[in-house]
Structure 1
Amino acid sequence: MDVRIDTNLAELPIWIDGKVLKQMKFATSVALYETAKEAQEAVREDLPKIFTIRTNWVAKGIRIKPGSSRGIRGSGDGLNGMSVEIGTVDPFMERQELGGEKKPFKAHSVAIPNRDPQTEIADRKKWPKALLKKVSGTFLYKRADGKKFILQREGRSRYPIKLRYSFASSVNVPARWNMRERVLNIASEKYYGNFERAFKKAMETAR
């Protein structure tokens, strides 16, 4: 995801003072970086409102590239080429943003956990194969229609039985993350104010 500011600043060197131009480049890179940081923080804060978050792994994966205003200054040709990207390193979050069909990667079906409570962490010890192999009372049940489930007896008796996983050939994942819209809104709200402050400071401290 790119946050880009298109301008006609390439024409400025024709008439603007060299010191001012230098500070404008500096202020532009700072404003881009500060805006990207604000967008990053907003997206991270939104995660628990949209998803059941069990660890900070996904939030840490939301990153800025380049990761500094100095890196932004070196990312393009002068004022026009500077840019910053905000995105996630986790490929599975793309489906949360765009929606789509989730298909099995190296299996015949997708395992759908039945979490109780919903905040339960499905770590590796609770994955299907681990449950069947190591957790007492769990077993694979196949219905006459071919649908499969992993069930677990909650005691030594036959009942009650708890559903741990169901299986499907694919799962439709609705688009429910609004990262792109959130970033664009932050960029339009914050960039110009960030630039004004950065440019004023740059001019006050210019040598």
Structure 2
Amino acid sequence: MGDQVYIRLRHKIKIPKEKKLLLKDIAYITANENWRKLIENTFIYQVKKEDKNIVVLDIYSVIRILRNHHPNLDFQSIGPNQTIAYVGVSSKNPRIFIVGLIWLLLFIGSGMTIMNFHYDVSMQEVQQHLHFLLTGNNDPYPLWLQIPYSIGLGLGMILFFNHVFKKRINEEPSPLEVEIHKYQQELDNYVILHENEMSKKDDD
């Protein structure tokens, strides 16, 4: 057995179109400094036009390429078995008009949802009855209950989503961020599974 080289594939990367992928682009490498500098520039894959938007690189293919170039080294894989490369993905600043339109739609939609919910559960009647129990008087608009309730509803939403505009209240992820993370994991798993099925068909 030769010198040990440990390779940990990155879970996902963003790359420009038709890029030549080297080992250092898709993996973390731990080895003797001389060996690391030598193998980190090993050519792994050429992104083609027919690859479209996603390329999945498997650790088996990567190690096979490395052993062809360096048969005297012992390559060990740790971490993920695939790297998902998103081709041609660039972050663009959102347009103010589109952001404003989406914000307006969400504002109206969420407002209608809250109002319909309160109507369904007869919130106004509940507050009127609560006011009568506490004061003994009938009041169709018990503002001393309704105003704090409305303020508390807004503060509760801020605490629930853990954000005030771009500022995070604490380090805990919000439920929305957790759901987005779970969705992204399921999407990545589907991409990997689909790629493995396509590879098996190609081998057959």
Q: What range describes the TM-score normalised by the shorter chain of this pair?
A: under 0.3
| Larger Rg, first or second structure (1 or 2) | 2
**Larger % of helix: which?**
2
Higher relative contact order (CA 8 A, sep 6+): 1
